[in-house]
Amino acid sequence: MRDDELLRYGRHILLDEIGIEGQQALLASKVLIIGAGGLGSPVCLYLASAGVGEIRVADNDTVELSNLQRQIMHSSDRLGSLKVESAQVAINQINPNTRVVPLAIRLEGEDLLEQVTAVDLVLDCCDNFQTRHAVNRACVQAGKPLVSGAAIRFDGQVCVYDTRDHLSPCYHCLFPEADDVSPVNCATMGVFAPLVGVIGSLQAAEAIKVLANIGKPLKGRLVMFDGRSAHWHEVRVPRDPACAVCCDRP
């Protein structure tokens, strides 16, 4: 590790649970972040500041004025820019050593699977069930851990899905895919601005724990947060042996 890296990541290295070995694991890691909005903003910024070596950001949207209420990675001077290009600017301002791969497309099918296969961990920071289920299927197929977060109104949740662990469920185990699920989005329902910071920061923390192999990640544990009362609630969730997505995994 170079002298400038020892200085930059010194506060991590001082933690016995991380140390030099854990920090080197972060420097060597690659992650894919699906969504560069409210959740993706703190995820991108904290993973970059923590020293994750490569961050791939997928989002086909552009920065709009209404985004700036909560999407802290973007700024007024980048209105109209692709969110992934804005993300690259913000990430490199924090850590120019992190390699950023902007993917200004909606990842689907083989393209999604190819990107998932190429990284060590995936973070679901999107805002719709269709994408969540597609990302989950790709992660199960590729055997990659998935850190999923969601936030709407004053309510948020985070869980880690890692089917390399035979006890860990996948996203479909908890939220089976169905045609009659009503779409929800902040454009029509609203979202408390700091909520996405709370949930996104927790996603980043869980990703670092998995990548550096420290602590006890939220595998099989769905954590829910009520921003109105600042109340946290945890539910343990086992793998569904009849799950249509992960039941054939070892």
CATH number of the domain where residue 226 is located = 3.40.50.720
Query: Does residue 128 lie in a domain region?
Result: yes
Sort residue 220 into left (φ over 0), alpha (ψ -120 to 50) or beta.
Answer: left
Number of domains in the chain: 1
pTM for this entry: 0.95
Query: Does residue 14 lie in a domain region?
Result: yes
**pLDDT for the residue numbered 248:** 75
**pLDDT for the residue numbered 182:** 59
CB 58 within 8 A of CB 115: yes
153: Cα separation from own chain's centroid: 19
Q: Which two tokens stand for residue 186?
A: 């902040």
**pLDDT for the residue numbered 57:** 98
Domain of residue 177: give its range: 3-236
Query: Does residue 126 lie in a domain region?
Result: yes
Query: Does residue 248 lie in a domain region?
Result: no
Query: Does residue 72 lie in a domain region?
Result: yes
**pLDDT for the residue numbered 183:** 63
For the stretch 59-99, pLDDT in tens is 999 999 999 999 999 999 999 999 999 999 999 999 999 99
* Planar angle of CA 146, 127, 27, nearest 5 degrees: 40
User: What whole-number distance in Å separates Cα of residue 121 and Cα of residue 119?
Assistant: 6
Query: Does residue 82 lie in a domain region?
Result: yes
Query: Does residue 215 lie in a domain region?
Result: yes
Q: Which two tokens stand for residue 83?
A: 């969110």
Assign 184 a pLDDT band (cuts: 50, 70, 90): low
CB 111 within 8 A of CB 139: no
What is the CB neighbour count within 10 angstroms for residue 76?
8
Query: Does residue 166 lie in a domain region?
Result: yes
For the stretch 38-66, pLDDT in tens is 999 999 999 999 999 999 999 999 999 99
